[in-house]
């Protein structure tokens, strides 16, 4: 089949979850004999057998994605694709165009994006309209979590296809990123996410800094003992703020000397950090299956996550959960996990097993391949 993926920044992945999704899915489909094109915003050429179609975009917080998707949809009309996969409910406005051209299209709607705090009233209205357009004009709507599928059943009266995100870690040596950041294996906390309000980067740093202010509690074989702040494992905040400049500034003002802000890191360096973290902190409050969370689980990471229905669906009993806000419990959760090595090892084994059973990229590709055959027929 000749397939296309629209609505991401493109491949190779250098931004977020949808880009990793497009990369992992497209390269596997190519290996299965399909011709796959991914619409990209920069860099020309083929990547791992995947055709990269590069088109411009209007660089603006609210217009970059939709402008690129609109041009991508127009270009797709002339290429004779057997099926198209669209990413992100905000891009659903091109579905009537694809339907008019009789190009079968599915859309992965991601989470309930209109609930993100970063959007103003106009942004929330766009996403609400996108949900309606997806439910009305897509040949199939794909949800990556049962929580999202239930929402579309109850609100839009449709039956989505539930296909989760994938996560697999290759057997590879570590990179030199730990040396570059001057941190030790198993001696740092890790947070991974774009710096946006609903991902709570400032709140995570504040909870971490409470450990430093209140004294760092660590259990040893004899008894609990209070250690100086110098023994507090550093917190690596992996991510960037593409448009939330005020939030980025607030985060840097709040961060103490043991908070490391290296920006966005990808590939082998990223996987090295995931594998070697003492604890992985997942603090997103909106979305479905969050890529970084299941990647941390697949790496054998010890994961603590914000207590939301989506995160509990992904983590199950393999993850410890915390609250943020005035009565935050993240500080206590970090202390408890660090003080219990046996608990951490139990959590690591359970997380790896759960990720392997539920979030295999090959199983995800199987499901999308079946979906594409259904659409093309």
User: 118 or 353: whose pLDDT is higher?
Assistant: 353
| Domain 2-166+360-376, CATH among 3.30.70.260, 3.40.640.10, 3.40.50.2000, 3.40.50.800 | 3.40.50.2000
Q: Which CATH superfamily is domain 177-358 in?
A: Glycogen Phosphorylase B; (3.40.50.2000)
Is the bond preceding residue 12 a cis peptide, omega within 30 degrees?
yes
Evaluate whether 338 touches 218 at the Cβ level (below 8 Å).
yes
Radius of gyration (C-alpha) of the chain in whole angstroms:
21
Mean pLDDT to the nearest integer, 266-280: 95
Where residue 45 falls among pLDDT bands split at 50, 70, 90? confident
For the chain, give the number of residues. Answer: 377
Secondary-structure breakdown of the chain: helix, strand, coil percentages, each rounded to the nearest 5: 45, 15, 35
Give dist(CA 337, CA 351) in Å, integer.
15
Give dist(CA 280, CA 283) in Å, integer.
10
pTM equals: 0.87
Where residue 128 falls among pLDDT bands split at 50, 70, 90? confident
- Mean pLDDT score of the chain: 90
pLDDT in tens, 61-77: 668 888 999 999 999 99
Give dist(CA 134, CA 137) in Å, integer.
6
pLDDT greater than 80 at residue 35: yes
In 10 A of CB 49, how many CB atoms?
13
Determine the pLDDT at residue 189: 98
H-state helical runs in the chain? 17-31, 64-76, 95-100, 121-137, 146-156, 177-181, 201-214, 245-254, 267-276, 291-298, 309-315, 330-338, 341-358, 361-376
pLDDT in tens, 79-122: 999 999 999 998 999 999 999 999 999 999 987 776 666 666 77
Determine the pLDDT at residue 30: 98
3 state SS of 191: strand
Which residue intervals of the chain bear CATH 3.40.50.2000? 2-166+360-376, 177-358
Determine the pLDDT at residue 168: 83
């Amino acid at each position: 089949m000749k397939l296309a993926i629209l609505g991401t920044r493109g491949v190779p992945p250098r931004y977020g979850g949808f880009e990793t999704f497009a990369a992992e899915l497209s390269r596997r489909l190519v290996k299965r004999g399909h011709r796959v094109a991914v619409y990209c915003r920069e860099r020309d050429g083929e990547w791992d057998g995947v055709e990269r179609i590069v088109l411009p975009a209007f660089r603006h917080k609210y217009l970059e994605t939709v402008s690129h998707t609109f041009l991508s949809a127009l270009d797709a009309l002339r290429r004779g694709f057997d099926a198209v996969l669209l990413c992100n409910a905000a891009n659903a406005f091109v579905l009537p165009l694809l339907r008019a051209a009789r190009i079968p299209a599915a859309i992965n709607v991601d989470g309930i994006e209109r609930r993100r705090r970063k959007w103003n009233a106009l942004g929330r209205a766009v996403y609400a309209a996108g949900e309606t357009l997806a439910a009305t004009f897509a040949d199939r709507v794909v949800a990556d979590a049962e929580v999202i599928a239930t929402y579309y059943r109850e609100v839009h009266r449709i039956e989505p296809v539930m296909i989760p995100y994938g996560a697999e870690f290759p057997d590879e040596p570590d990179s030199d990123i730990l040396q570059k950041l001057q941190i030790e294996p198993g001696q740092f906390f890790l947070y991974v996410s774009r710096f946006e309000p609903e991902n709570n980067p400032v709140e995570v740093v504040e909870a971490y800094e409470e450990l430093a202010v209140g004294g760092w509690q660590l259990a040893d074989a004899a008894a609990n003992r209070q250690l100086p702040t110098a023994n507090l494992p550093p917190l690596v905040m992996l991510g960037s703020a593409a448009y939330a400049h005020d939030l980025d500034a607030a985060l840097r003002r709040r961060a103490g000397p043991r908070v490391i802000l290296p920006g966005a890191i990808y590939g082998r360096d990223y996987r090295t950090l995931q594998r070697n973290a003492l604890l992985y902190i997942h603090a997103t409050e909106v979305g479905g299956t969050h890529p970084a969370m299941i990647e941390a689980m697949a790496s054998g990471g010890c994961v603590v996550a914000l207590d939301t229905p989506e995160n509990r669906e992904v983590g199950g009993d393999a993850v410890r959960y915390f609250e943020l806000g005035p009565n935050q419990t993240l500080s206590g959760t970090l202390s408890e996990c660090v003080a219990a090595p046996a608990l951490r090892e139990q959590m690591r084994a359970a997380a790896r097993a759960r990720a392997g059973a539920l979030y295999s990229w090959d199983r995800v590709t199987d499901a999308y391949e079946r979906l594409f055959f259904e659409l093309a027929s």
